[in-house]
Structure 1
Amino acid sequence: AFCRTHPRYRGGAPDIDNRHDTPLPGSRTRQARLGAAADLVAEPPPGAGRDLRSELMRRADADPSCPVRFPPRDRAGVLADLGGRAMRSADRGSWHLGWPVRFPSAADLTGIAGDTVVDRSLDLAWSDLIEQRPELIEEARMRSIERVASAGLGTFGAEDAGRYDLRLLETGQGAAILLLAVDDLGIGAISAEALTGELARMPDNLLRDLWKLSRTVEHELSPDQLGLRFGAALNLIRSETEAMRDAEPAPHGP
């Protein structure tokens, strides 16, 4: 009241002209610069505290039968999770969201762990063949990740297959699945810091979709999932190899 009625006050200051029941907080950033106590001026980043998950993601996380987990995350938490996924493509030199591909070291090489029936009398012959032809193991590995290393992967509960351009690339730290684009929009940067900045400028809905994709790819590339798909792929390769053997004409005698 004193300021408003003072003869030298010219008006134009909303926090003075308009009555308030409590004092306005003012600029916390400016207060911090002036040395105010940090606990009095701490200002959360935009979106902090507000759960960024969709209703579908919340229901999925609460459902024990859902194979993918979506724990509570605000915008800052999503940015932190995605920022930790920055990986550099050795071929391209650019930074992208990435997920390392690490197959279990103790993989089942018997070729029987799958839905296809194989000839168990050929177990020893198959074991010898695997030792002589390690490229069969590599082929099984490629088959087991082909659903992820493509544009055909969709996220849980959404009809979004085809949105994400995922590639298997070398990173200098081993092979990894890198995200190159979403909806034909390239996502990449010249450094990890620049990629983090690019993510921070994205709207909530796109950021949420990327985090949902990340959680999905993490599940697909987990040791358990890779082990299961590798075993199934090797089982199919063994079946194909046996079929080719059976199709070969028997040698004729003199």
Structure 2
Amino acid sequence: MTGGSRGIGREVVARLAADGLAVVVGYAGNKDKAEEAADAVTQAGGRAVAVRADVADENAVAALFETAEREFGGVDVVAHVAGKMVLKPLVDFDLDVLDDMHRTNIRGTLVVAQQAARRLRPGGALITFSSSIVAQATPTYGPYAASKGAVDALTMILARELRGRDITVNAVAPGPTVTDLFLEGRDQATIDRLSNIAPLERLGTPADIAAVVSFLAGTAGRWVNGQIIRANGGAI
């Protein structure tokens, strides 16, 4: 998987390992946190290894998948959690920042999806990460939402391109979720307001999102394919 060093990604690592899967914890730069996530799995009796990979670098991602095949015998589930989010009104958005974010969110998703399509075994699952913000049209989210709209399109089309392979392809689209990245720069009033958007009147947790990934990766989710699953407590 990618983006496994912190936040939602780290919780997904723990959940998939608890489900009995061996996990390759992909990370971009936070080596210590990624190795902590892998060590936690091994200390609990599971199998995991941390591997650095820029998701937009096709050679690095190929090496990530090769590690999974070499260490654990093959690839059955790919959870692509890695992403970047920069928020600013469209009129002021720096185009270099746009290119960097889209390199990770769009190119990175395509690169990981290519390797998944080539290497997943029958019965496998690819789970990409979108965002509920795509449908909410919230100011300052424009370039980020555009990148996640691209993830939606790539996911649904790849599900159809893999006809006959017995591989499911779905996207999870979280709503506001309590992570360090989400809390950074937000005052309590903003956090309280976002907590009340969903009818359940709370923010999501990484465990909430990891449970959806677990469902899609397991046998219970085999009839769900080519879908965008909005895990947001009913916010939209």
TM-score of the superposition, structure 2-length normalised? 0.24
> Per residue, is there more strand in 1 or in 2?
2
Structure with bigger gyration radius: 1
Larger helix proportion of the pair = 2
